[in-house]
Structure 1
Amino acid sequence: MPGQTLDARLVQIVDAALADATLRGGSHLACRAGCSQCCVGVFPIAQQDAERLRQGLHALSGSDPARAERIRLRVLDALTRLDPWFPGDLATGVLNEDHESAILFEEFANDEPCPVLDLTTGTCDLYEARPILCRTFGPPMRTPEDNLGTCELCFIHASTDEIAACELDPAVPEIQEASDDAYNEQAGCSGETLLAYALRDN
């Protein structure tokens, strides 16, 4: 599969960076199994993320077909709500190139739960295959405006210096972009999509 080695390397780097930031974050990080606030609201994912998720669902179909079927049903349910407002090509599931700057996308499906989220347990049914953004959410991350952003549930009582001391490796976004670009070139794809469209018809 195109990009499989690239993706394994990317996940390894990101997971190591997260483990390091988590260790430094300590009690300031509220992230726990069952905390699913960041799993509500759609966000764009790279094609490499989409392929990882499809592989994860395929593997789950063999190990736990009932759980995989529940994901597929949630995907179909989500698509009935997303399709009328999808800011992209419905046939391919690829978002418009200017979606990030569009006001529509800012307000699009903010209350839509991720279709791989088990609403009963608050846990991810494809955790090992989750997108890079999901893997890095929680610790302080550098924004394009050079600010340190955090989850609103984390670092509530931390000082500015404490937040800075727990920053996720700032090299991660550049590494991710290079890996995604290399994957797209090998796989002959481009653009970003949403998780529900990544798992559509799978």
Structure 2
Amino acid sequence: MALPARDSELIQIMDAAWADAARRAGSHLACRPGCTQCCHGAFAINALDAARLRAGMDELRAKDPAKAAMVTQRALAWIEQWRAAFPGDSETGTLGSSEADEEGFEEFANDAACPALDPATGRCDVYAWRPMTCRVFGPPVRQESGALACCELCFTSASDEETAACEMPVPHDLEMQIVNELGDDAETVVAYALVKPASASGR
């Protein structure tokens, strides 16, 4: 699955929004290189996130084969460890949509380190191609319920007003437009996206 051209527009908007939110947050934002609070626990990613990760891995294989091999090795180990409990198709990595699958995902791999995380450095080896969930973590972000949510390590001493003043806007509409262009509404997790080349068809 090819990475849509408009993904670069989405990433530019997100990077600018995060930088602006971080400027407003100042010391209330705890995010630093090596902080891995947001790098543990499985979460669903959409087809656009998966395509971006696969494109990134293709680039990493060309530029740094050794690092790419280590990421792939960690991803394969992650899949093997959690395959039996995977709430969906454990061969393709497609998450199930049944009520049982959704309930199972609530408790699935909650403490597992992301395979993209280098345990030696505490840094993400595919940072430039990370999913949207990773890109919004840290600053306050508006939830579907209307509430603001942020990393539990951030804004610990901030008032509600100070937190609200640092809200980061997220271009959900643009993201969904691009996902719809892909014509794939299936979701997966990071590990499966890391082991399948972008040139391969389907999930």
TM-score normalized with structure 2 length: 0.91
Unmatched tracts of structure 2, length 5 or more: 198-203
Q: Give, as a single letter, the amino acid of the residue that structure 2 aligns with 1:50.
A: A
Q: Choose which of 185, 189, 192 in structure 2 pairs with 1:194.
A: 189
Q: Give the direction of change, closer, same or farther, for the CA distance of 1:179–1:66 in structure 2 (3 Å limit).
A: same
Partner of 1:179: 178
Q: CA deviation digits over 1:95-139, x for unaligned, max 9?
A: 112479833111100011110100111100011011111111100
Q: Distance in 1 between matches of 2:96 and 2:9?
A: 28
Partner of 1:96: 96
Q: How many residues align?
A: 197
Q: Distance in 2 between matches of 1:172 and 1:51?
A: 18
Which moved further from structure 2: 35-44 or 15-24? 15-24
Partner of 1:26: 26
CA contact under 8 A between 1:100 and 1:106: conserved in structure 2?
Answer: no
Partner of 2:150: 150
Unmatched tracts of structure 1, length 5 or more: none
Give 1:56 deviation, angstroms. Answer: 0.9
CA contact under 8 A between 1:99 and 1:105: conserved in structure 2?
Answer: no
Q: Give the direction of change, closer, same or farther, for the CA distance of 1:123–1:3 in structure 2 (3 Å limit).
A: closer
Q: What root-mean-square deviation, in Å, do the aligned CA atoms of Structure 1 and Structure 2 show?
A: 1.7
Q: Distance in 2 between matches of 1:81 and 1:99?
A: 23
Give 1:2 deviation, angstroms. Answer: 4.1
Give 1:10 deviation, angstroms. Answer: 1.1
Q: Distance in 1 between matches of 2:33 and 2:137?
A: 14
Q: Distance in 1 between matches of 2:33 and 2:142?
A: 25
Deviant stretches of 4+, over 3 Å: 98-101
Map 1:8-157 to 2 at 5 A.
Answer: 8-98=8-98, 102-157=102-157
Q: Give, as a single letter, the amino acid of the residue that structure 2 aligns with 1:38.
A: C
Q: Give the direction of change, closer, same or farther, for the CA distance of 1:88–1:101 in structure 2 (3 Å limit).
A: closer
Q: Give, as a single letter, the amino acid of the residue that structure 1 aligns with 2:185.
A: S
Q: Give, as a single letter, the amino acid of the residue that structure 2 aligns with 1:141.
A: V
Give 1:39 deviation, angstroms. Answer: 0.3
CA contact under 8 A between 1:10 and 1:179: conserved in structure 2?
Answer: no
Give 1:158 deviation, angstroms. Answer: 0.3
Q: Percent identity?
A: 46
Q: Distance in 1 between matches of 2:49 and 2:113?
A: 18
SS at match of 2:77: helix
CA contact under 8 A between 1:115 and 1:196: conserved in structure 2?
Answer: yes
SS at match of 1:30: coil
Q: Give, as a single letter, the amino acid of the residue that structure 2 aligns with 1:26.
A: G
